[in-house]
Structure formats: structure tokens, C-alpha cells
Amino acid sequence: MTAPRRRRQPRQERSRATVERIVAAGRAVLIERGTEGLTTNHVAAAAGISPGSLYQYFGDKEAILDEVVTRYSDELEERVTGAFVATVAVRDPTEAVRRIVLALVDALAEHPALLRAVAQRMPRAGDDRRAAFARRVDALLTSTLVARSGGATRYPAGTVAWLVVRTVESLAVGFVLEDPPLGREEFADEVTALVLGYLARVLDPAP
Amino acid sequence: MTAPRRRRQPRQERSRATVERIVAAGRAVLIERGTEGLTTNHVAAAAGISPGSLYQYFGDKEAILDEVVTRYSDELEERVTGAFVATVAVRDPTEAVRRIVLALVDALAEHPALLRAVAQRMPRAGDDRRAAFARRVDALLTSTLVARSGGATRYPAGTVAWLVVRTVESLAVGFVLEDPPLGREEFADEVTALVLGYLARVLDPAP
DNA sequence: TGCTGATACGAGTTCCTGCTCGCTTTCAAC
DNA sequence: GTTGAAAGCGAGCAGGAACTCGTATCAGCA
């Protein structure tokens, strides 16, 4: 049996605030000290709380990290989704893709340290969170593709979406975390060219 | 002062073999138990050696991991370079790119566990190894691009190489580590289409 | 106001890690 | 055969991590 992720449901307002403080502290420690420096004592100290209190609400250290990552993922997803939505009215595909790419880059660039910490966790096999996240974005893109192309695709849209999403994601992450040889605008232009070049080739019924 | 990476130069044949056993054991433990399970005791046990003997040749645990990662990187680089070389004679760009992609995927797929362990280390900021590796592949691609295009590029070849290399690399890693919705051959075709679509668009002097 | 369960505390327990050091064994050179 | 440096050993040390538990405080209610 694994430890319970949550020990107690906070009932009073006070304890709900404590949970928030713990999560915020976890995020802060992750940003300041990285994955290595994320110890329960550090988190407790940063939250202005005793180590024991952590375990009132979280089964173990991992559960805290999980919560932090989940919220961060949700935040990112919200912004990306927002960019998609804000873009449905944009006729020009180039402009649409460009905007989405920029939204992603900007979202990621807000907390490079957090992104780095999360990226380190990402490649885990059984990580449902990342998989679920990617799948939702896949679905988003898939439906967009189908809508824009009128359903006339040579390949299953899911496959195309998988490639495009991972391409854009990893390029954006790389752009934020490494020091790339191009600027933000230029990056967006290039990625847009990359994506559209591929989509044009793949979506057109007649190659 | 940081610990010395190597303590003693092995003089006798016996000790040189010990170093090899340590590195091999480190690799094996990394594959079997992942980054978490890579403890000095485990490595020593796997090498059939006492913990103390590790420190005759390696300054600390990190130095062992470094050596394992270095050798793995070298191995990968060699195979990728080999694919590039074996491909210079191939006229058809589609076929050339396809072969290189397949070589990369196959190389990565040989030890998914090792790849996962290494990928986890990768996103570290100050990691020179990965940066150096990527830079060498960049250079390789850059020169290939310049050679094939006759020097007539709209963009600095280095920028193009950065994008292409990171795209292919991360797609290949994703293909091996996640469970992707396409097979090996199909994957190679799609990545080739993606890359060539971009290169065609970017390299042609007249769009 | 006094009672009760929820909340918070934090020193302490347990465990396991990386690493050391004094000793023993091996072996090449003389 | 002798010898001394190289190689190897492995119990054990120091440290720090995650986590516990007996105690104290607090908020809301009769």
C-alpha cells in the first residue's frame, strides 16, 4: 500500500490556508533550490510551519511535489487553451500558429526554474499527468485540424497532433531553458514555418 | 575545492579492469534501478567490489555517473555521426534524412532505461556535456546543409540546425520513451517530412 | 466560560546515504 | 625469496533525509 496522498480534509479556514501555504512554499523552494533542494524541512520552513504539519495534509513529500506540478500544468494548459480559443477567429493560419507558439513560450518563460524542475520529472514512464496534459492538447489540436481542413486529411489527425505538439513543446522548452541562437519573435516565425510546412504537406488530400 | 574526479591513475592491468567494472556496474545499476537506485553500495555490489575501492578511482558518486553518461553520449554521437557519413553519398534528401532519423531512433531504443536516466539529467543548465554534444551535431548538420544547398540559405545555417536538431532529437526521445501512436517506419517518414518541409522552405533562396 | 475536536508544534526516531581509514592481500621487480 | 608499493577490503562514521508522536494551542459551540 502506498501512503495516502492526502491525510486530512481541511475543514477550518485556517487549515485550508495552511495547505495553500504549503503548496506555495513547495513551489517557491522548487524555484529557488531546484529538485535537489526540495526537502520537507525547507518546505516547512518556507511555509512558516513545522515539518509535522506537512504530514497532516500530505502523505509524503512526493504528494507535495505532485500538487505543485499539477497546479503548474493546469496553469500552462489554461494559457495554451486560451490561446487556442482566442485564435479560432484568426483566418490566417500563419498568424494563428504564431500566436499560439508565442503564448506557449511566454507562459514557459515566466518561471524557467520551475519549468526546469518539472521538465526533469517529465520523462518518467508512468507519469499520468504529463501524458494526460499532452493528450488534452493533442485533442485540442486534433479538433482544430479537423475543423480547419474540413476533415480531408491523409493521416489520422491524432498522429499528426502527436508530432506537432511534441515538436512545439520541446522546442519551446529548449528555447526557454537553453540559450538559443535566436530571439523570441524569430523563434516564433521559425516554429510556425516548421509546423505549417508539415501540416500543409500532410493535410492536403492531394500532395 | 571540489573532490578530484579521479583519485589514482590505474597502473596495473588489474586496476584498469576494476575501473571498467565500476563503469559497467554503474551503467547496469542505472538501467536496472534508475537514477534513484544508483547508490554507491549498489554500484560496488554490482561490480563485485567493496565500496572503498570505488573511491580509489573516482572522487565521488557523481564522477561515476559522469563517466557512464559520457560514454553513453559518445556512443550515441558515434552512431549518429556514422549515419551522417554513410549518407553523404545518398542523392535523395528524403532517403538521407530518413536513414539518419532511423539510426538515431534505433540507437536510442537500445537502452530506453539508460536514455530515461540520461534524459532526466539533461535539462540541467550548466551541463556542458549535452551542450557540447548538441553543438557538435549542430555543426555536422550545418556543414551538411551548406554543402547541399550550395551556400544559398536565407537564414544562418546555425539557427536552422538548432531547430532541426532539437526537433529530431526530442521527437526521437519521445518516440522511445512515451508510447507513441505510430510505428518505427511511419515515425521516420513523418519526421522526414517535417524536416524536409522546413528545410525546403528555409533554404530556397526564393520562397 | 468551559469543553472538544481540529490544528499545529518540533524534538526526536529511524533509516540510509556517501564516504573513510586502518588493515590485508597481491604482484612485479630485484 | 624478499620486499614494498599498488590494489582491495569492509566495518563503521558522520550527516541528513523523511517522517512520527506526545504535547500544546486554538476555534467554534453549548
> Where do the domains of chain A lie?
13-59, 69-203
Question: Across the A/B interface, how many CB contacts are shorter than 8 Å?
Answer: 89
CATH level 2 (architecture), domain A69-203: Orthogonal Bundle (1.10)
The listed range with the strongest mean pLDDT (A149-163, B48-62, B114-128) is: B48-62
Q: Are A57 and A26 in contact (CB under 8 A)?
A: no
Distance CA B69, CA B117 (A): 9
Q: Give residue B3's pLDDT.
A: 45
Could you identify the residue whose CA is nearest to the C1' atom of nucleotide D10? B50
Q: Give residue A143's pLDDT.
A: 83
Asked whether residue B56, judged by its CB, lies under 7 Å from any atom of the DNA or RNA strand D, the reply is yes
Q: Which residue has the cell 513547495?
A: A26
Higher pLDDT pick, B63 / A2: B63
Task: Work out the pLDDT band at B152, boundaries 50, 70, 90.
Answer: low
Distances in Å between the Cα of B197 and the Cα atoms of A30, A49, A207, B140, B191 are 39, 55, 12, 20, 10
- Interface residue A4 vs chain B (CB under 8 A): no
Q: Which H or E element spans position A20?
A: helix A13-37
Q: Which CATH superfamily is domain A13-59 in?
A: Homeodomain-like (1.10.10.60)
- Looking at chain B, how many residues does it have? 207
Q: Which residue has the cell 536510442?
A: B108
What is the Cα Rg of chain A in Å? 20
Positions 42-101 in A, CB within 7 angstroms of strand D: 51-52, 54-55, 60-62
H helix runs in A86-127, sequence order: 93-109, 112-121
Distance CA A115, CA B114 (A): 23
User: Among candidates A161, A104, A173, A163, which has minimal Cα distance to A137?
Assistant: A161
Distance CA B149, CA A184 (A): 26
Task: Work out the pLDDT band at B126, boundaries 50, 70, 90.
Answer: low
- Interface residue B180 vs chain A (CB under 8 A): yes
Domains B13-59 and B69-203 belong to one CATH topology: no
What value does the mean pLDDT take over residues A97-112? 97
Share of residues in chain B with pLDDT > 90 (%): 56
Check pLDDT > 50 for residue B1. no
Distance CA A113, CA A111 (A): 5
Q: Are A170 and A164 in contact (CB under 8 A)?
A: no
